[in-house]
């Protein structure tokens, strides 16, 4: 069997998505997500100019060898663009292999380890009353786990909070918009938010929070400690993780569980964090960490240290990634939770899928492959439009982590 076509499809049904479609000489095809939010065209070029021509004539069944060819075989390793492109190839090939086996992907991975997949969704508002309303709405929709973000008094625009009357979408402008940040105001405010959420909703709901790389390690230690009475499921990305050792300091000060990894691309980005038990959840995704092949290796390493998975699932990860992630989650023994930020209805139309939500949980469905398709005709109606993520500055104008 041979690969005869590898085609990149770019569309913007409300937000940009890049999809790779690999077709074989026997007509079987597979698709993979290649979306890198705000840098989509870089991955398109990487695929079209380099990886796609190199795929022609190869046996699509040799998933491991193709992964090694693109990772080990290339002098320039790792990096977000590179690993997203490799992930798209890998996901499409697993889709093909599962179709050839006439199985849903999770069966090929080893079968399911659970009946259903716990997901968390987002609740946010411009202040505490609005945020409490959003939590109530998510709870009514059936979610058992909710990520809570709120506007901060004295900070005009902050990460994770939707514009009035709109759904939250991280890439919001043709050129990066600017936000302002104050760690002091945030730290003084956040515990009161969680105190009120617990007071209104009791202890049963799982609560999560994303710090989005904003704090220094000692500030993160303080926040984790002050949030302990509200027993969060996790505190996410408390500080940038380029220096993995920084997490030692946070760990020394708090028992609030820590989750990291949505911007990681390889096992090396998380190795020290996992081996030193500095985190509780590893959030690497199928699309940004090199596909199912490498996510499996990360999860196996994590399982040795009782670290569980909690894959990134924001709206910039396409339904193709979500489908593949849910098959992975169904199988992976050390599963923790899966993020679910619902796509707009038009996105679900462009990408028809077998996975479905049921009362706070997901199931991947039993279609062969990963169960996600792309309606190419509909996709063609929504051409690419540049959309950038914001940047962030401190009150004195210093550029900060977004």
Contacting positions for ligand CS2 (CB under 6 A) = 37, 170, 210, 212, 262, 312, 314, 316, 339, 389
231 a catalytic residue: no
Q: Which does 314 bind (CB under 5 to 8 A by kind): Mg ion, ligand CS2, none?
A: ligand CS2
Of all helices (H) and strands (E), which one includes residue 125?
strand 117-125
Closest to Mg ion by CB, 134 or 317: 317
Residues from 245 through 274 that contact Mg ion (CB under 5 A)? 262
Q: Which of 290, 277, 120, 285 minimizes the C-alpha distance to 207?
A: 120
Q: Write down the least CB distance from residue 346 to ligand CS2, Å.
A: 19
Q: Write down the least CB distance from residue 209 to ligand CS2, Å.
A: 10
Coil, strand or helix at 157: coil
212 a catalytic residue: yes
Q: Write down the least CB distance from residue 377 to ligand CS2, Å.
A: 27
Closest to Mg ion by CB, 33 or 262: 262
The token pair at 291 is 């596909």
Of all helices (H) and strands (E), which one includes residue 64?
helix 63-71
Residues 6+ apart with CB under 8 A from 50: 85
* CB count in 10 Å sphere of residue 134: 21
Closest to Mg ion by CB, 241 or 326: 241
Q: Write down the least CB distance from residue 85 to ligand CS2, Å.
A: 17
Residues from 153 through 212 that contact Mg ion (CB under 5 A)? 210
Instruction: Annotate 98-126 with b (16+ C-beta within 10 A) or e (fewer).
Output: bbbeebbbbbbbeebeeeebbbbbbbbbb
Q: Which does 170 bind (CB under 5 to 8 A by kind): ligand CS2, Mg ion, none?
A: ligand CS2
Closest to Mg ion by CB, 210 or 219: 210
Closest to Mg ion by CB, 51 or 148: 148
21 contacts 6 by C-beta, under 8 angstroms: yes
Q: Cβ-count burial of 334 within 10 angstroms (0-12 exposed, 13-18 middle, 19+ buried)? A: middle
Active-site annotation holder among 143, 159, 330, 361: 159
What amino acid positions are annotated as catalytic residues? 159, 212
Q: Please report, as ranges, the residues that interact with Mg ion according to CB under 5 A.
A: 210, 262
């Amino acid at each position: 069997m041979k690969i005869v076509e590898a085609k990149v499809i770019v569309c913007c049904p409300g937000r940009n998505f890049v999809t790779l479609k690999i077709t074989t000489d026997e007509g079987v095809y597979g698709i993979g997500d290649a979306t890198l939010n705000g840098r989509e065209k870089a991955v398109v070029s990487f695929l079209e100019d380099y990886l796609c021509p190199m795929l022609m004539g190869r046996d699509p069944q040799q998933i491991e060898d193709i992964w090694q060819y693109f990772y080990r075989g290339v002098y320039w390793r790792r990096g977000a663009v590179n690993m997203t492109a490799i992930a798209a190839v890998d996901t499409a090939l697993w889709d093909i292999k599962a179709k050839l086996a006439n199985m849903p992907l999770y069966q090929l991975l080893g079968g399911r380890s659970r009946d259903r997949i716990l997901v968390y969704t987002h609740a946010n508002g411009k202040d505490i009353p609005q945020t409490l309303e959003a939590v109530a709405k998510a709870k009514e929709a059936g979610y058992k786990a909710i990520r809570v973000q709120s506007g901060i008094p004295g900070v005009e625009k902050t990460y994770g909070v939707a514009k009035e009357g709109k759904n939250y979408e991280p890439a919001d402008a043709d050129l990066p918009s600017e936000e302002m940040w104050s760690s002091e105001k945030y730290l003084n405010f956040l515990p009161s938010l969680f105190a009120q959420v617990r007071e209104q909703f009791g202890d049963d709901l799982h609560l999560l929070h994303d710090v989005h790389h904003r704090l220094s390690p000692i500030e993160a230690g303080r926040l984790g400690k002050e949030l302990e009475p509200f027993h969060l499921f996790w505190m996410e990305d408390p500080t940038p993780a380029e220096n993995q050792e920084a997490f030692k300091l946070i760990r020394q000060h708090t028992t609030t569980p820590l989750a990291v990894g949505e911007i990681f691309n390889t096992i090396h980005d998380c190795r020290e964090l996992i081996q030193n038990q500095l985190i509780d959840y590893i959030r690497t995704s199928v699309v940004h960490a090199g596909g199912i092949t490498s996510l499996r290796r990360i999860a196996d390493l994590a399982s040795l240290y009782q670290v569980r998975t909690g894959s990134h699932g924001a709206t910039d990860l396409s339904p193709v990634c979500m489908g593949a992630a849910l098959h992975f989650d169904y199988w992976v023994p050390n599963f923790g939770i899966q993020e679910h930020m619902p796509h707009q209805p038009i996105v679900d139309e462009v990408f028809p899928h077998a996975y479905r939500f049921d009362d706070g949980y997901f199931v991947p469905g039993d279609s062969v492959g990963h169960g996600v398709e792309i309606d190419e005709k509909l996709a063609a109606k929504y051409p690419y439009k540049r959309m950038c993520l914001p940047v962030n500055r401190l009150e004195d104008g210093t550029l900060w982590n977004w």
